Structure 1
């Protein structure tokens, strides 16, 4: 299969599931869940739960006496999350926005926001909402990429750099939020306990094209006049010809209330 410029954005739920299923996705998620130290009987909140990727694992950790609340505003995601957690009585799926969490104040023992803050209108407000929902001594896990660190190996280095600049400036709403997570968490009233950085590495071109949007975002950059058409097409066409490499930095913050 050959990827082409201008392909449409993939189904969002399928995209999220595929990203979580890769080695890099499994690794940082496992690390975050371990550091959250979820205990049996606790109430856990997954903000922006998407298709429910992490909900079954959280349900297993809280046991029959605990509760897991998944919140998302997308009806398609909510439908898939409900299907994925069917039969798990301790899981409750709620429709709601990160800026108006449908959760009573001071009721959550553990919470996570995973690759959501980069898309929301006001990350600081979202964290303030989370602070309101959590109990004293609660533990919170945050994870966001820093797209300014996106590296794509190519002979045309300047076009790779232009692609990263375009991704940061035009494609992602809060593209550099990964580096700001610890500061924003402290400003929201949380105590930062750990800041971790991982580097997802892509050696397979097709996988990188799907996850990083190489073709579709290059076409946008060309259409928007940020990158010359011939140069952009040549850059993209050359990526699968030899050994491929791309990476970016993902920042995880563990904090307490």
Structure 2
């Protein structure tokens, strides 16, 4: 890909003869621009997702899960482009996931074994995904920032403390649409929401993705069980996140995605 200019890559993505791999209803698109290269592009494709994917690909064991290598990020006006390896295989649905659910449990358990030193996106920058309010840019830069952000509307005697929980790598959008199986190889895509959080964040994410609850119920028996303390913290965090989604706090930064209804 080193011989491809940014302009050439962009033109290939928008060429009507290029194969589009993503579903027509997806706001972001994935184009296969050569036998071995795909490009994810759209208004909600960010440099944070690019960095997340790079870090996940570098840290995870490819014998357990393959993350497509991300080579280049291009920003052209309001559209971002991630140039990456093409992942061959079949995208799962709920029925086909049943055939490999034990292996999928191993994948998520393996992801959780990788820890970070501060919360938030794997590569830094604002977090993304269904857990976070659209009206606010949420960016954790210090180890205590998640604790402070979650507790900003709570009285001192009613605060939740997550500082004793390891910050584990979480995918936060682990569902059949983002899993491609090719023989014995499992590819995991869409790292836009990934970050370092207590591992139960990957459990509570399904409460914000109701279309994937059936998959979670299928997957949960193969995940390392949560402790009673983790279960209690998880329920408390869900309540706080739902509260934050509907309340604008003083000093909140309005991100570009809010202005266009993303």
Normalising by structure 2, report the TM-score: 0.28
From the two aligned structures, give the one with the greater strand fraction. 1
From the two aligned structures, give the one with the greater helix fraction. 1
